[in-house]
Chain A
């Protein structure tokens, strides 16, 4: 086994500088850096990284092409399998997917596949590489897609390639779903999202903004006007702890509200932009997923003096990506493990003043799972003036309550078969709406696969 060169580090804004702005944290690889990193790939006979990718990008060949400086070819190769490499390269949990299965993990650090993917995507758009897409002639067949998040966009792109007339219905005034309202600018610059969506529109995909299916356009209309419908409205409704004091207290946000204000409504540009956001000096974020990290880091950038992450398990159990947790800690965010809030106390104006916490311990359950249990009598107090609850999300019932014929499970997640078809023939579902809250790349993969099923369905019903 030849000695493997160490991973090429990526330049990034120093922590003390970046907490004062919303610019991208990593600078991205230069061409030389990318070539050096891609050269580390040992070109396995049977690459394990590719099957670990939810959209099965030809990673091995991508690395080879980058190493040979054939950037254009590499870009076209990646685009074949993934419509949004610039996004997924930045936000995928690569350590659990491609990079996790990279053979180099055994010897050293894996190939920085995500960073290379982002590099090649940026290179392609910087050099204005046009992807020549053969679009079949099927314009008389219509596909309606509900939601313009990753699943909807991926499905739209694939369906368009099959030649169908595709219309996406989006509730908000900007397309992109979680890429737009959820993931902050410093992690995924919105110019990139806008550009990827523009490319989709250039392919001929129609995007109807401000259209809330179930509200100002009805599901039955979509069904009657289209040959297939794809539901990809995600899991956009916030969960709350439901503990005493969280309401009527001001300054308790859901992470969704906090991030929508900051990202979609650009509250960090207030008052040039109209939507305000209030962040106190001492902020507590409940939860330790990616959304919690995004909220915490956003709060810091909005001027909070101290930001605390409150998590009932230990740091090792935090569902956030390693990189996000690492960036958050580097920026000075304090991580409190094995604690859980039980009550918020307000001041005379109705704002949060302090919260009561209880220490937790992890108890092994019969099934071997570690379950956090409160330690009696360990209660203590912590002064806070803003609380952000990042406890995960559930599917938004706005649409589903108005379309009861679509079967869902108890959690409100749409039930689909192996072809992504719902209980209603011709209506398909994917992304978080059909699998509960998951990742961007999983949604992209499901959107892509659902498009295949939609194509098969429409072709067979001719």
Chain B
């Protein structure tokens, strides 16, 4: 009798302490692989997002409670897990390197996905700055649909940075090209000459998806406009909330302001005002360095050393 009363009070207390209230969703990192390239491959458990994800959409990541909300592309969705390429640059990648086992938050999917339908001949392009993840996701989805012929072009800085074969789009496309900026693998330069070549050789291209460096995308938009090819390009923009509130990701489409997070992230490259496309990333360069230095100086963040309170 007294035992059950005790139990009752423990239960009550626990309820008050919120132990039983609401389940805590942790986004467990199930795999973290060094691709021996510019990126890590990170798999994270996020079944709710995986269930609703469409290629072209993105997620926001927070590594910890005090973390930044970082927009991230998704390469693959499988068994309730998202696979992402995370750049070996800055604080987030260092947290990964130093063995964080889960993310505080993964939010999404956000933005519009692509229409998964029969397009005909589709070219998907990407480079080391942006788009390899989208490239894979789009190729994989469209490859499953009959009537699509998929040509994928991927640009890397050099031979050394080319992903291992499993993570290239080779297995999910009909034709696959690699270019490197220094010419150490495949054609030298970016993906534009290859695309130009395809056009010149009379390949009838029905649609182009892509992403990349701003100057490359600007160049490719001219090519696409000249040949009147429908397309959607990811405009990589800085975001804070990713849901249309901050306006940091504003771009100008046909003279009208649009938000990459809500209206995009992909837009017709012919309509993007490239000279007005922002380069606001540079604004926070100094701060990124500071965050990085701070992290190195206070590695661990386990509390106790007190140096972060100075």
Binding site for B on A (CB under 8 A): 171-173, 181, 201, 206, 210, 212, 215-216, 236-238, 240, 242, 247-248, 250-251, 253-254, 256-257, 260-261, 264-266, 269-278, 349-351, 396-398, 401
Query: Nearest Cβ distance between residue A100 and chain B, in whole angstroms?
Result: 31
**CB–CB A238/B241 < 8 A:** no
Contact between B245 and A349, CB atoms less than 8 A apart: no
The CA-CA distance from A350 to B275 in the complex, in Å, is 12
Q: Name the segment of B31-39, B106-114, B149-157, B224-232 touching the other chain.
A: B106-114
In the complex, chain B residues whose CB is within 8 Å of the CB of A251:
283
Shortest 10 CB-CB distances between A and B: which pairs?
A276-B287, A257-B246, A271-B294, A274-B68, A254-B247, A250-B283, A238-B247, A273-B66, A275-B68, A236-B245
Q: Are A216 and B245 in contact (CB under 8 A)?
A: no
Which residues of chain B have C-beta atoms less than 8 A from A349's C-beta? 282
The minimal Cβ–Cβ distance linking B249 to chain A, given in whole angstroms, is 10
Chain B residues positioned under 8 Å from A242 (CB to CB): 257
A248 touches B277 (CB 8 A): yes
Chain B residue with minimal CB distance to A276? B287
Which residues of A sit under 8 angstroms from B278, Cβ to Cβ? Answer: 247-248, 250
Closest to A266 in B: B66
15 contacts between A and B (CB under 8 A): A171-B243, A181-B241, A215-B109, A237-B247, A240-B247, A242-B257, A248-B279, A251-B283, A256-B245, A260-B241, A260-B246, A261-B240, A272-B66, A278-B283, A397-B262
Residues in A with CB closer than 8 Å to B62 are: 173
B246 touches A270 (CB 8 A): no
Flag if A274 contacts B243 (CB, 8 Å).
Answer: no
Interface SS of chain B: mixed
Number of interface residues of B (CB under 8 A): 49
- Which parts of B278-310 form the interface with A (CB within 8 Å)? 278-280, 282-284, 286-288, 290-291, 293-295, 308
CA distance A216 to B291 in the complex (A): 31
Nearest chain B residue, comparing its CB with the CB of A239: B247
- Kindly provide the distance from the CB of A450 to the nearest chain B CB, expressed in whole angstroms: 23
- For B295, list chain A residues within 8 Å (CB): 271
A238 CB contact (under 8 Å) in B245, B291, B293: B245
Please report the C-alpha to C-alpha distance between residue A317 and residue B22 in the assembled complex, in whole angstroms.
48
**Interface presence of B252 (CB below 8 A):** yes
User: Could you tell me the distance between the alpha carbons of A272 and B286 in the complex, rounded to whole angstroms?
Assistant: 15
Which A residues are CB-close (under 8 A) to B99? none
Residues of A within 8 A of B259 (CB): 237
Residues of B contacting A238 in the complex (Cβ-Cβ under 8 angstroms): 245-247
Task: Tell me the complex Cα distance, A240–B252, Å.
Answer: 12
- B69 interfacial by beta-carbon distance below 8 Å: yes
**Residue of A216, A250, A272 ringed by the most chain B CB atoms within 10 A:** A216
- Residue among A212, A261, A271, A278 making CB contact with B291, cutoff 8 Å: A271
By the criterion CB–CB under 8 Å, are A278 and B108 in contact? no
CA distance A172 to B107 in the complex (A): 9
| Structural contact, A247 and B262, CB atoms closer than 8 A | no
B244 near A236: Cβ-Cβ < 8 Å: yes
CA distance A206 to B257 in the complex (A): 36
**How far apart sit A396 and B279, CA to CA, in the bound complex (Å)?**
24
Q: Which residues of B contact A172 (CB under 8 A)?
A: 241, 243
Q: Of B22, B262, B275, which is within 8 A of A396 by CB?
A: B262
Q: Which residues, 81 to 115 on B, are CB-close (under 8 Å) to A? A: 91, 105, 107-110
In the complex, besides A264-B241, A269-B66, A271-B293, 16 extra interface pairs with C-beta distance below 8 angstroms are: A215-B243, A216-B48, A216-B52, A236-B245, A240-B247, A251-B283, A256-B245, A257-B240, A257-B246, A271-B295, A274-B63, A274-B67, A275-B69, A276-B287, A276-B288, A278-B287
CB distance from A141 to the nearest CB of B (A): 21
How near does chain A come to B43, taking the closest CB pair, in angstroms?
Answer: 19
Q: Is the CB of B109 within 8 A of A351?
A: no
Q: Are B244 and A276 in contact (CB under 8 A)?
A: no
B250 touches A247 (CB 8 A): yes
Interface check B248, CB cutoff 8 A: yes
- For the complex, give the distance between the alpha carbons of A265 and B283 in Å: 17
Does B41 reach chain A (CB closer than 8 Å)? no
A254 to B64, CA, bound (A): 26
Whether the pair A212, B243 counts as a contact (CB closer than 8 A) is yes
* B144 on interface, CB distance cutoff 8 Å: no
